[in-house]
Amino acid sequence: MATRPFTEFPADEQQQVLQVCRQVGLAAEMFEIFEESREAGVRRISVRRVGTDKTSVYEAGPGSVWVEEFESDLECGLFGQVTA
């Protein structure tokens, strides 16, 4: 499967990511987010912070909580310093 950009993600997922970024004082535009692949109902979401090249990959399937994992990674500094 070809990659799918963040702008094509479900609207609720996009809103969750935007909210998480705002909570830590970062703009969502500071990240490249896309779906890498989809196999057996599981999506692989890749997130890269522009400027630091820090990257993480999350599994997203039915009932998954990849946005919560992303938020935790932001808060612990995996993607670099945050302001909040």
> Does residue 36 sit in helix, strand or coil?
strand
pTM, full prediction: 0.88
Contacts with 56 (C-beta within 8 Å, 6 or more apart), sequence order: 46, 47, 70, 73, 78, 79
What ranges do the domains of the chain cover?
A: 4-75
pLDDT digits over 31-55, tens only?
A: 999 998 778 778 999 999 998 899 9
Neighbours of 32 (CB within 10 A): 14
pLDDT of 7 reads 95
pLDDT of 83 reads 66
pLDDT digits over 17-37, tens only?
A: 999 999 999 999 999 999 987
